Structure 1
């Protein structure tokens, strides 16, 4: 009877997993697996619902599930206004304009930094800056009737379902575990099943490295505590938190509560419900925790799972990508990555790229949601107190890269937490603008956290970057360009105007070049050599600053024009924009990174900031600015491919914009390079960990999300005012299809290709407008249907234009 029962259970499990798009479920395996428990954190599976996170390691005798909550931050708001900063600004600028950049940098070290410890050089757990950290560990200590050998072990993450599962056999008993963070119930769910009666016995415990207590209340296991605010280290006055686990036994068994553990005896099925929260959003967080638990406890497992799947799939199933099948899909992911690296042509496992693309979408869906916080450097997953770089919001690319897939991969609402977070920084940014620059408007620098930190960082070589607010405003306007929501634009326009107003005041004329420049500033984290041999980071003006400011001024001007406001301000921005140094090609044929042809101190530096105009902006274009595009190509060649994980992800997007699909794919191969060897030893360099987390190293989620965006960029582009399908298709992706990618102007596109040639494409208008589509060179057999009726549309210079109303569909067949 036990075998039939377990087969029936597996059948139900599979049936509950089949409510998905037919194209995906029948043809593609959107899952990956291991044949053993995780030995390191980078082998565990990330689960998240945009607020809560769980990472089960699949242990057999002892399983650890790391618990995360996106607002689990130490620290507090602080006064960062440095009274000496503004008084030193004139001296810093004078030194820069006299070519004494090293003197200017030395003066900045002494005066033009934040008040206090800043980020405490990435060790902010006990400082006011704070750190994002794990909430805790949920331990399941299993007690088996015998110590027989474990067989047929399989640990899997299913991206279609956002469910992690473990199955194995021991002592003639089949065990199945499933875990998910419910998108519907906002609670963690762990389901345990044994196919032999009374074979399920385990003890629950919870802990974290510091600042916690564990107890039982009834049969609930409760962990609670408070984090330091960084000001008073003797008394905990920071974020309060709680985690509460409750066990439900649908088929009987016994629950025994101890002082700090809960034990389950003689069960065959158990549901563990885990509710957790902090007081960041809701001072009544304990009531919130209890209410969520009570609601979940009323439902059986099948209903909890069904509701979770329905809520999650509304987001995930919007996009499909098929790049073919591979026999390597049968391999555990650690072996699959090794096989991909050994395949020098990277031709045998094209399906891995499609899985990696969908894994990026999965991570974004799992690490943020409207009304919550945006994903940090690790999304919402952390396994330590001292999360690398405080697990904060790095604003000189990393935070922005996290959101590159949001619009194009049809997850537009997941842009909103960044937008709301940006609006929240304005008041602090206005104080920083006044204190440090005596300027109007608002500014923020490289560092961002939960506590509205907007001042320069504690070290000018990286902390002086002051265009982060301008870069954030690019995201505000991009969301409008994809949605065409003028009510939203009117809401965010003051934020954009404030960022532009800061630079209206802050820009000064370089007496040597006569250009308006940002001074002081940097080209993020990079340095250059002065004629005297000194290596300096601080400069007057940088190419990235000029590109970002041209974009900010242009977007703000366009927004004001759309809203029919601020005519005089538009004219002022136009005048300022005209006085910025244009993107310039140096004597070596490359894009200049600074105003002067300095020698890089680190030629292969991970940041390629002077190509911001190529991506994410659209100042540099193969078709519109071919000379700049060629110079960008030479710049990338000189920088080299090999770098940190997120840097290689950025370069995928660069090469896609240059319409070089094979080079973009080569970078994707580099990004997927395994960073753990056949054992559990870390390998130096950027790449990918066994659980597909991107290695900076260590783990940073921006590489995953930037790589996801890069794959989309290879398949469709729309930044030049028209839709271009397969602009950077690698030669190895001979046959494939995608569905549901978004383009500027409010359109949704799909395409299928055969032998590297576009076979058919469709466009659905979400917003009324005129859409332009660049046709392939050989389109003599083109047929067009609009709303399923054959139509004839004019084609001018290889460009098809069509006026669509919201809901209209256009189908092109070649």
Structure 2
């Protein structure tokens, strides 16, 4: 196992953003580590308020042509006035994700002095521990959320027989229907999430070693025990007809195993995923710095000191969080993963589709957690039926459309109030590209044929009907927005709603190109390929404005907020591939101008925006600038538990930063692999193992003195491997030299499935 993969603190958490997260994809907890009162704030991924909505506005189709004509005529105020009435959903907002409740442990202590306190989250094992001494007694607790046994497991022990005395109860406000005893050592909490919302049941069972356990009122009482194991599970009507039976069975099945068996199974299942990737940013001060509590390391770092091991810890923390909140069978990670303590969370803790949900999954493929992508694909499948209805009812179009938010039920209508965010029909198009990326990394043609291509085609069919011709004969989207930005017309009028913003065009360029490539791979759908080819030629191209920047709108309008957190018109740089420092240097230079303009005016002031900027600079192969933004994010946009601070907490910044660090070390878009494309000087020596590259490869890289030393590529499929390199390279398969060709800085060789190739300078 790797060393120093721990967050640790020498005091309990005082605030939620100091608590430590655990999760098994579906069931999560935030561990505070209190001494006399312990609080574990609980979440389950399907606890959402209210039910599904049929909220498409019946007047949209009638007024859509008029709104478009007003926008083409730059009658901004009239267009936006009509759009507020004719396009928005009824009701306007989606229902929120909600907490499951809190588990409290109330300890009976002798009020002696407490010392040797330590609270640890071990990323290697996904186990949180709390240890302290009170007087002469040492108390220890371990917490984990097991995907194997579908339970949260809490182990409490003391080194003096009979020293454990505490009560445990569960609470939820509002919609708490109370807890009741099922047996002398089992409590059941019942709850609901409003009218038409899910109902849930949560069971907790205590198994003692020594002493006595009994239920009193709504609590479990533990008296004079040597050790106790608590088992907690929950189930909802979203998945089960009888959630009470399910959660009681889960705690029952878990409790017949020994604690060591449970722990070993949990670690084995989790560690296999976590250990696939190892990042070592060699630093002579590693041991000294890792002996400091994490909050003090963060403070030291924010005061300007170096700590590259903290940076690698933050990278792996993102992978830990993704494993912990997105597993096959779970729901996808929302704005807060699964960790939310509020009944009215910021932005309802939904799935926001104009960057945030997509950013959550940027690390999935490259960071070797492809199965963690699966919940997003399942959500897209749930969205398809509603998206087909929304396309037909609102726009009179074929295919599948979604706007800027969705939820547990896969809603696709225009949701919200602000024009600056809501009227944006690109959600399904962008989401469908995640299926394409999954194929590109894994090369599973069955997945492409049966899952990815049908969704991509439906998303494209919508736009083939929806696009309209502008005065220049181009096919443009609209009404739409450049998320969530505002422009100024020449007459001084400010606006959000527009026709053909750059991000829309760039997403469609990527989607249509991907569909065309997929069609050639699958060798079918020739007539549809012809439709796509014709449409691609008429999409607006990415243009450069008078200030040398990438234009955000069809016309070179003035921005109202030059430091806006969204940088949507650089989609073509990342995650798109149209802007490239080698293949399109003129556009790349304009992207640099765009980024520098945003940053000089205060851009990147939210965690997720800063994370996107890391990825932008990495794609531009500007290692020092990418690293500056890694530092800036860790300096201004994290809490002491390493959660991303928007503020408030949003998990996308964690995931985006992890993906960005990986992108600094390995890139594989545009059909070429690049080793260390954005390596900063601070990471002078190091190695990374287990990253994935498009084309079906797993890659290890070693660098020394700031330069490439060697790499290994394991091929999962047979095909031509293409590596962009500025220096001659030798490729070996074992002891055998592999035949290569090298032309225009591209090295090529034929890779055989299952073989491992060693690459080093010649």
Q: Structures share a fold, TM > 0.5? A: yes
Quote the Cα distance in structure 2 between the aligned partners of 1:190 and 1:768: 46
Q: Which residue of 1 aligns with 2:107?
A: 142
Q: 3-state SS of the aligned residue for 1:688?
A: coil
Quote the Cα distance in structure 1 between the aligned partners of 2:23 and 2:463: 39
Q: Which residue of 1 aligns with 2:207?
A: 248
Q: Residue 603 of structure 1 contacts residue 639 of structure 1 at CA under 8 Å; is this kept in 2? A: yes
**Where do residues 148-297 of structure 1 align in structure 2 (5 Å cutoff)?**
148-212=112-176, 213-218=178-183, 219-229=185-195, 237-249=196-208, 251-297=209-255
Q: Residue 67 of structure 2 contacts residue 82 of structure 2 at CA under 8 Å; is this kept in 1? A: yes
Quote the Cα distance in structure 2 between the aligned partners of 1:369 and 1:300: 25
Task: Give 1:794 deviation, angstroms.
Answer: 3.1
Q: Which residue of 1 aligns with 2:433?
A: 474
Q: Which residue of 1 aligns with 2:618?
A: 656
**Where do residues 608-687 of structure 1 align in structure 2 (5 Å cutoff)?**
608-640=567-599, 641-674=603-636, 687=637
Q: Which residue of 2 aligns with 1:313?
A: 271
Q: Which residue of 2 aligns with 1:505?
A: 465
1:493-541 Cα offsets, whole Å, 9 max, x none, are 2211111011001100112x32111110000111111233232100011
Quote the Cα distance in structure 2 between the aligned partners of 1:77 and 1:798: 54
Q: Which residue of 2 aligns with 1:458?
A: 416
1:328 is the counterpart of 2:275: no
Q: Residue 382 of structure 2 contacts residue 409 of structure 2 at CA under 8 Å; is this kept in 1? A: no
Q: Which residue of 2 aligns with 1:76?
A: 51
Q: Which residue of 1 aligns with 2:63?
A: 88
Quote the Cα distance in structure 2 between the aligned partners of 1:446 and 1:226: 27
Q: Residue 604 of structure 2 contacts residue 613 of structure 2 at CA under 8 Å; is this kept in 1? A: no
Give the alignment's Cα RMSD to 1 decimal.
1.2
Q: 3-state SS of the aligned residue for 1:221?
A: strand
Q: 3-state SS of the aligned residue for 2:660?
A: helix
Q: Residue 360 of structure 2 contacts residue 655 of structure 2 at CA under 8 Å; is this kept in 1? A: yes
Q: Which residue of 2 aligns with 1:410?
A: 368
Task: Give 1:294 deviation, angstroms.
Answer: 1.6
Normalising by structure 2, we get a TM-score of 0.97
Q: Residue 697 of structure 2 contacts residue 714 of structure 2 at CA under 8 Å; is this kept in 1? A: yes
Task: Give 1:106 deviation, angstroms.
Answer: 1.2
Q: Which residue of 2 aligns with 1:786?
A: 733
Q: Residue 56 of structure 2 contacts residue 414 of structure 2 at CA under 8 Å; is this kept in 1? A: no
Q: Residue 89 of structure 1 contacts residue 437 of structure 1 at CA under 8 Å; is this kept in 2? A: yes
Quote the Cα distance in structure 1 between the aligned partners of 2:242 and 2:675: 50
Q: Residue 560 of structure 1 contacts residue 567 of structure 1 at CA under 8 Å; is this kept in 2? A: yes
Task: Give 1:799 deviation, angstroms.
Answer: 2.5
Task: Give 1:573 deviation, angstroms.
Answer: 1.1
Q: Residue 32 of structure 1 contacts residue 329 of structure 1 at CA under 8 Å; is this kept in 2? A: no
Normalising by structure 1, we get a TM-score of 0.91
**Where do residues 465-544 of structure 1 align in structure 2 (5 Å cutoff)?**
465-492=424-451, 493-511=453-471, 513-544=472-503
1:704 is the counterpart of 2:654: yes
Quote the Cα distance in structure 2 between the aligned partners of 1:577 and 1:169: 68
1:185-211 Cα offsets, whole Å, 9 max, x none, are 111000111000111110001101111
Quote the Cα distance in structure 2 between the aligned partners of 1:763 and 1:364: 25
Q: 3-state SS of the aligned residue for 2:695?
A: coil
Q: Residue 113 of structure 2 contacts residue 134 of structure 2 at CA under 8 Å; is this kept in 1? A: yes
Quote the Cα distance in structure 1 between the aligned partners of 2:410 and 2:21: 28
Task: Give 1:783 deviation, angstroms.
Answer: 4.2
1:302-333 Cα offsets, whole Å, 9 max, x none, are 11100000000111110000002433222222
Quote the Cα distance in structure 2 between the aligned partners of 1:376 and 1:320: 26
Q: Which residue of 2 aligns with 1:684?
A: none
Task: Give 1:559 deviation, angstroms.
Answer: 1.5
Quote the Cα distance in structure 2 between the aligned partners of 1:99 and 1:783: 59
1:727-752 Cα offsets, whole Å, 9 max, x none, are 00011000000000000010000011
Quote the Cα distance in structure 2 between the aligned partners of 1:341 and 1:78: 45
Q: Which runs of 5+ in 1 are unaligned?
A: 1-19, 120-128, 230-236, 675-686
Residue in structure 1 matching 2:529, options 570, 575, 581 = 570
How many matched pairs? Answer: 751
1:746-789 Cα offsets, whole Å, 9 max, x none, are 00000111111111100000122111122343x4xx54320443
Task: Give 1:350 deviation, angstroms.
Answer: 0.6
Q: Which runs of 5+ in 2 are unaligned?
A: none
Q: 3-state SS of the aligned residue for 1:631?
A: helix
Residue in structure 2 matching 1:768, options 712, 718, 732 = 718
Task: Give 1:336 deviation, angstroms.
Answer: 1.1
Quote the Cα distance in structure 2 between the aligned partners of 1:56 and 1:153: 15
1:108 is the counterpart of 2:88: no
Q: Which residue of 2 aligns with 1:233?
A: none
**Where do residues 724-743 of structure 1 align in structure 2 (5 Å cutoff)?**
724-743=674-693
Q: Residue 642 of structure 1 contacts residue 670 of structure 1 at CA under 8 Å; is this kept in 2? A: no
Task: Give 1:115 deviation, angstroms.
Answer: 2.1
Q: 3-state SS of the aligned residue for 1:425?
A: helix
Q: Residue 758 of structure 1 contacts residue 776 of structure 1 at CA under 8 Å; is this kept in 2? A: no
